[in-house]
Each structure stands twice: as structure tokens, then as C-alpha cells.
Structure 1
């Protein structure tokens, strides 16, 4: 449930459950006098350590998330640039442009589902990229001259940039949160909430339940942020999408001839 409504429901459930449990435990404890000084010292230490763990997790995962988002833009830009530069090579142009269109179509159709389900790239996209590289050799008699050679080098560089950007996406998809870190994130959050319950025992029951519930909601928000950053390609708002690549594919298809923009083998 990565949608806003799903996250809101999770937070509501966390608030209601914590509020109810707080009232239940407080009722069992009664109105006994409790000294909270020792609990407050423990809370200060654990809350500080927990903040460090959450901050480290968010910074690390956000870097991977930002790299993945930037890589999609770089990939789309390289595809479009290579498509335009293929115009300089009349003999190889149809093959190169068709290979670029097929690659741009295959990424959202096959790479994204594979990244979401298995955190790996799709073999079909590997095949379309190989076909793209091979299309560069379709010009039997390359024209001579420094300008033509520079254009060919630049075109090959753009094709290489496509592979580099895709590799960055794949690395981001393979990044996972270690199990021990999840234990610290979940266990530490639970410990902080329980300690807040302990230090707020002098408060009235409903006031205490509200304070503990709000701390529980805030802790769940932090965990949801980590979950979102740890899975950048999953469906839902704020995630990395292939929209830029899809728009590039649509633009190339609209400007291409029927032969070049015909359905590809990987469209299915």
C-alpha cells in the first residue's frame, strides 16, 4: 500500500492501536506513583541513538534513490540525442533509429516490472540494447572526414551513456536494507514509544494515550520513508517512474516513418 490513502490508513491504525493499548496498560497499572527520572535518562539515550540510525538510513537510501531518478533522465536524454544524431548517417539511420525506439519501448514494458518483482534488469531489454549496439555497424561505407568521425564518436558515446544510466538504475534496484538495520529501525522505534509511555505516566490517562499515540505515528512515518526509499521502483507516488523514457519513445515514434516506428518484437 504505497499510495497516500494506504499510508494514511497505516498511520490511522497505528494511532488507534497505540491509543487503545496505552489506555489498557494504564488501567492495569492504576494510579500508582511512578518515578520517571531513570526512564527519562534511558529515553534520552535510546532516542538519540535511534535518530542517528534513522538519519543514516535515510541519507544512504536517498542517495541511491536520487541517483536512480537522475539516471532515468540521463537515459532518456541519451536516447533522444542518439536518435537525432542518427540523421547524420543516412545508410544506418533507419536501423539505428528503429533500435532506439525498440529499446525505449522495452524499458517501461519489461525493465520496470522486472525491477519491481526481482530487482534485476530484464533479459529482453538486454537483447534490445545489444541490437542497438549492433545497429551502429550497419553503414557499409562510412564517409570520410574529421567531422563525420567526430559525429560517429559522439553517437557511440550516447549509446554508451544509455548503458551507463541503466546500470545505475539496476544498482539502485539491488540496494537493500540489511536485516540487522531493520531490527534496529523497528525495535528501536518500539523502544522509544514504550519509554515515552513510561515517562508520561504522571499525565492523565487520555493525555498520555494521545502523546504516546502521536509518537507512534511519527515513528511509523519515519519507517515508511525508509521503506519508500528502499524500493524506489515500486508503484506509488513519489517513486522513480519511466515517464521520461516513455515520453521520449512517443516523440520518436511520432516523428519516425511507418517502417521505423513499426511494432517491435519486444512490444508484446
Structure 2
């Protein structure tokens, strides 16, 4: 075999620039938000009426100030904690709940499976915003309302995806062989089905976070999420919208761009993982 015939196989992730870019962006966001007390140039909640709506770059404020004279950059840095962190945690809870339901219902051949999926279908019929407002009325405003709404919104989708994947896998020979050899239901689900459905779960989980970051920000923007003066990207957009045209667009545009970039980064990671984890990658 000649040298020209030798093929160098690079890791699949090297063929996914969007995956690499998404991981880098999310890593930077995580590091900056964790180090917010040290990297934020100003206190994000201390108002200074004398410095309202300063243009970007004025007086050491890289992105200017808002209507109360608070540094916009500092509020964006701290706002990542209130926007991204709870959304990732709530989505993870939803993925775990949805995966458990999807695996059990997908494996079962009894009436219980149909009942679970009908309940999931009913959950699709409830608008998430209406659910969030109802929760806010019942338990009050705050991050818990947004987190619960995110779980309510994501869990049915995850359950449906995992249910379909499990139904498809359970008919394959390796599952039938394990059952024939006397494996228990728990052994088949955890030892055979879950490893083969895990790739779809991970990809869907990552992609969902990007969508739900936008949803959580929207809920905060209408006032039922994180409450002032805690910085949150969605509320920052809502507060800055009233001066978007009148001379201080950065107040709304900066957090809006942050939401867009983070949502895109999660989607890029999800798309990249889908291609990397696909056993037929490169043959489509």
C-alpha cells in the first residue's frame, strides 16, 4: 500500500466547526458567569441616577448604562446566572422525567403504555405561557415559575422522542436475545435499551436548551420570572425596549444578542452531536 492510499482518520468532531464553536461559546459563558464577582466591572444592582443611559464606552462603561445608571455589561455577565443556569437545570430535570416515562412506556405492551402517552398528548394541548401565568398566580413570581414551566414544556417532547426510539429498538434482535436469555425488564431497559437510546436523548437535551433559553427569557420579559433588581437577560430586553428607538438601543440589543448567541450555541452543539453520534455519519 502506497502512502497516497493511506487514509488519515480524524475524529468526527474535527469535521464539525459549528460543534467546536458552540462548545467554545458555552464554555466561555459558563466561565464568565461563574467568575462574575471578579470579572464584572461594576455591581449589577447598584443604581446611579447621575449616569443614566450613558453611551457605550462612556466613563468606563463598555456597553453603557441603563435607565437607573447600572452598567449594562455587568448586568449581562451576572444575568447569565439567572438566565442560562436555571434553564439548563430545569431542562435536565425535564429530560430525566421524559426519558423515564418514554423508556417505560416504550417497552411496555400493556394498557399502561397507552395511558402514559395519552397524558403526554394532553400536556401538549396546554400553552406554556398560560401554564406559567397560572403558576405565577398560585405560587408567586420568581425563577421557580420559569423552571416549572420549562419542565412542563420540555418533558412531553422528550417522552415522545424517547418513546418512539424505544419502540423501534425493542424489536431488534439484540433486545429479543436478551429477553430470551432471561434478562429482567430492568436489565433490558438499563443494559440494552438505554445505551442505544442515550445518543438521541443527549442530542435532544442539548437542542432543547437553546429553545428553552429563549422561552425562559420571554417569560422573564413579561414579568413572571426573575424579579428586579436581579439581572436577567429577558427582563433587560423588556426594560430596554422602551428606549430602543429613542437613543439607547444597546440597553435592549446587548442582552438580546446574548440570548441569541447562547441559543445558537446550544443548537450548534446539538446538531454537531447528532452527526458525531450517528453511526452512519458521512454516508448520508
- TM-score (structure 1 length as normaliser): 0.34
| Larger RCO (CA under 8 A, 6+ residues apart) | 1
For the pair shown, the structure with the greater C-alpha radius of gyration is 1
- TM-score (structure 2 length as normaliser): 0.32
Structure ranking higher in helix proportion: 1
